[in-house]
Amino acid sequence: MNRRPFVAGNWKMHNDLVAARALMAGLRAELGGALNVDVAVCTPFTLLYPMGREIDGTSIKLGAQNCHFESKGAFTGEVSPPMLVAAGCDYVIVGHSERRHVFGESGDMLRKKVVAAQAVGLHVIYCIGEQLDDREAGNTERVVESQLQEALSADLNTDLLTLAYEPVWAIGTGKTASPDQAQSVHAFVRAKLGGVFGQETAQRLRIQYGGSVKPGNAKALFECPDVDGGLVGGACLVADDFVAIISAAQDSV
Per residue in 69-86, pLDDT (tens digit) is 999 999 999 999 999 999
Return mean pLDDT, the chain: 96
pLDDT for res 170: 82
Q: What's the Cα-to-Cα distance from 153 to each of 41, 74, 120, rounded to whole Å?
A: 27, 29, 18
Instruction: Kindly tell me the burial class for residue 225, based on how many C-beta atoms sit within 10 Å of its own C-beta (0-12, 13-18, 19 or more).
Output: exposed
Percent of the chain topping pLDDT 90: 91
pTM for the whole structure: 0.97
Active site residues: 96, 166
Average pLDDT over residues 175-198: 95
- Considering only residues 231 and 2, tell me which one the structure prediction assigns the higher pLDDT: 231
Percent of the chain topping pLDDT 70: 99
CB 158: neighbour CB atoms within 10 A? 17
pLDDT for res 175: 77
Checking if the pLDDT of 33 tops 80, the result is: no
CB 119: neighbour CB atoms within 10 A? 14
DSSP string, 115-131: HHHHHTTPEEEEEE---
> 43 forms bridges with which residues in the sheet?
64
| Alpha carbons 203 and 3: distance in angstroms, whole number | 8
pLDDT for res 253: 85
Checking if the pLDDT of 94 tops 70, the result is: yes
Question: What's at 23, amino acid-wise?
Answer: L
Question: What's at 247, amino acid-wise?
Answer: S
Sorted by sequence, the CB contacts under 8 Å of residue 147 that are 6+ apart come out as: 95, 107, 128, 129
Bridge-based pairing of strands 161-165 and 6-10 is unpaired
Checking if the pLDDT of 68 tops 80, the result is: yes
pLDDT in tens, 100-155: 999 999 999 999 999 999 999 999 999 999 998 999 899 999 999 999 999 999 99
pLDDT in tens, 39-65: 999 999 999 999 999 999 899 999 999
Task: Read off the pLDDT band of 1 (50, 70, 90).
Answer: low
pLDDT in tens, 208-247: 999 889 999 999 999 999 999 999 999 999 999 999 999 9
| Domain with residues 6-251, CATH architecture | Alpha-Beta Barrel (3.20)
3-class secondary-structure state, position 42: strand
pLDDT for res 81: 98
Instruction: Fill in the DSSP letter of residue 234.
Output: G
pLDDT for res 95: 97
| Alpha carbons 86 and 101: distance in angstroms, whole number | 29
